[in-house]
Every structure is written in C-alpha cells, then in structure tokens.
Amino acid sequence: MTATDSAPAATAVVTPPLPAQAAPVTASGRRPDILPEPAGTLQRTLVAIFVAVPMLAIVAAVPVAWGWGLGWHDVIIGAVFYVISGLGISMGFHRYFTHGSFKSVRGLKIALAIAGSMALEGPVITWVADHRRHHKFSDKEGDPHSPWRFGNDWKALTKGLVFAHTGWLFDTEVTSVEKFCPDWLADRDVFRLDKAFPYLVAVSLLSPALIGGLWSMSWQGAVTAFFWASLVRVAFLHHVTWSINSICHTFGKEEFEVRDKSRNVSWLAILSFGESWHNLHHSDPTCARHGVLKGQIDIAARVIWACERLGLATDIRWPDEERLSSKQTGRLTGTARKLGSMTRRRAAQQES
C-alpha cells in the first residue's frame, strides 16, 4: 500500500452531539454495564502513575536528546517494541479480541494478547470490555470516553477532548467484564494472560533495558534504553491510542455514514497502524481493514493479510464492496473514492 496525495485533508467538525440515550438500568436502579463498586483509590493512583511518569519522560526527552543519552541502539530497540506493542493493540486487542475481525490459531492468539499487554493500556479483557461498551453507546450517555459528553460549544468541547484523551482513565465507573466479555472470560489462555498483566508490564519495561545493556555491554546502555524504549515508547503509544478516542471523534473527514462523531484522520494513520481511519471502523466495526479507500495506509490490515497467507489467520472479514459503497457519503454527488486492495467484490462484478 502506498500513500496518495489525493487523501482528504483533515477538517474541523464541530457539530451538535447526537441526542443522548440513557443506558438501561436494572430494577434496582443499577446499570448492568457498570460494576456496583467504583474504582478504588489505589487503582486510580496506579493509573495516575502510569499516565504521569511516561508523560514526564516525554517532557524530559528533548533536553536529554539534545545533549547526550540517545543512540542508534535506543532508536532501534524503541522502534521494535513500539511496533510489537502497537500492533498488539491495533491488530490484537482491537480487531481480534474486541471485534472478531478474524480467527487465529492458538499461538497467534497468545502472541497478540502478550503484545497488546506490553502497551501498558490495561489487561486484555478489561481493554476489550471498555471498547465494546464504547461502541454500544458511542458518543451517547454510557460511552466511557466521548469528547461530546459536556456539550458542543468550544469550552465544553475543550473539556470533552481532555476527558476523552486522558480524563476518562480516572473515572470511578468500572465497565463490567462479565457483561461485555463472557467469551474471553471463558477462554483459559486469555483469562490467564489477563491475570498475568503485572508480569507482562515488567517484561515490557525491563526487556529494553536488558537488551540495551547487553548490546552496549554497559549500564549506561541499559539506562538509556529504559528511558527511550520503555518510558518514552510507552508514553508516545499511549497518546497515539488516546488520540483515537479524542481527535478521531472530533476532527477529520466523514467518508462513510455513521450514527456518531467518528472521523478519519490521515496524519495519524502510520503511527496508529491504521486505527485513525476511525470513521470507516464505526461504520463497519468488524471489518479487518479500516483504511479501505485507495491510498489509505493500514499497517495492521497488511499484517493480518500476511498472517492469512501463512495460515495463522482465517475467516477474515475483508471490506465488502457492495456494503461499503452503499455507505459512502460521496456516492450521491459522484465524489466517492475507489476502494483499495483486499476489497471483496461479487463474482458477477469480477466477471464483467
């Protein structure tokens, strides 16, 4: 896949939020999608540490890089761990575990759960539960991280963007994994990896330091690799992921019909492995390729395609031309763009 200059430029979209629809409640007045016990102080403190420490690392990155402490070892180790953990989120946590965009062999399933956990965005089942809840109530009451929750004027939207980006992580409401993830709770492999999250966090943070130290045969190499390939890498990936919640629900292009505010943001596509083609994703959530239009780069989709060729992934939900063409916003004006590779076309159309 190659980029194209014809990709639409991002434009601000500030329109009133859709009418709020209250999430259902039980006879006792409790919402079934939220656990009765709020998140505890310890849990929120740990979230604050994981958010604040990597952010401080990014702030310190510029003066550190300017004077000393950054070498090719750090860049290579950081890039490798960024790709592994980033694909673990995009291809694994999101497209496979949340939406079932494809089926995988057991080894790939385990590898994706480990890789996604190394992004330090939470245990796999918790991550999936939050995201399934997001789709159920997208940009309405019940959505855990909609930027439109406070209104549509500039003050409310600014507050909403901050909330959608990081503020929602400190919300006391805890999504019920029993309601949203009974499938993965019943999967022994995934359940065990979910419980092993603290150990996978340690692996994600300490492995770069170990590799850096052995590569350079020095403790300085271990320290700089920990700084760049652990702290900075994690913080950067966090903000890319959170940008899908905030930026991609506020700015960009609506190229497919949706019932929420999801938008396509081209400049985030490579860094997010294709996740920022968010408008298409909300139009067709189970589709394995999010950047379905010609020229839209979707790295995660290409890796899924490679896994299919290797026999590791099957039953892949590739884009369907007839279904997606009917959803394109430009079909009535004649400005609809062509669909890209991996699109499935009907046999009759192919013969003609």
The answer to whether 277 touches 90, Cβ cutoff 8 Å, is no
State phi, psi for 328 to the nearest 5 degrees.
Answer: -65, 135
Q: What does the DSSP assignment read for 162-193? A: HHHHTGGGG-S--B-HHHH-HHHHT-HHHHHH
Residue 251 sits at φ, ψ, to 5 deg, of -120, 155
350: number of Cβ within 10 Å? 9
- Report yes or no: 250 and 261 within 8 Å, Cβ to Cβ: yes
> Residue 269 in contact with residue 277, Cβ under 8 Å?
yes
Q: What pLDDT does residue 286 have?
A: 97
Whole-number Å distance between alpha carbons of 249 and 276? 10
Mean pLDDT by 10 residues, the chain (352 residues): 40 40 48 55 61 69 72 94 98 98 98 98 97 95 92 87 90 90 98 98 98 95 94 93 94 93 95 97 97 96 98 97 91 84 69 40
How many other CB atoms are found less than 10 A from the CB of residue 349? 9
pLDDT of residue 333: 79
Residue 151's pLDDT is what? 86
The pLDDT value recorded for residue 4 is 40
User: Are 116 and 81 within 8 A, CB to CB?
Assistant: no
- C-alpha Rg value of the chain to the nearest Å: 21
Q: How many CB atoms lie within 10 A of CB 134?
A: 22
CA-nearest of 143, 134, 62, 78 to 281 is 134
d(CA 220, CA 213): 7
Q: Closest Cα to residue 268, out of 237, 294, 232, 292?
A: 237
Question: Could you tell me the pTM of the whole model?
Answer: 0.83
pLDDT at res. 61: 73
**Side chain identity, residue 77:** I
Any idea what DSSP says for residue 101?
Answer: -
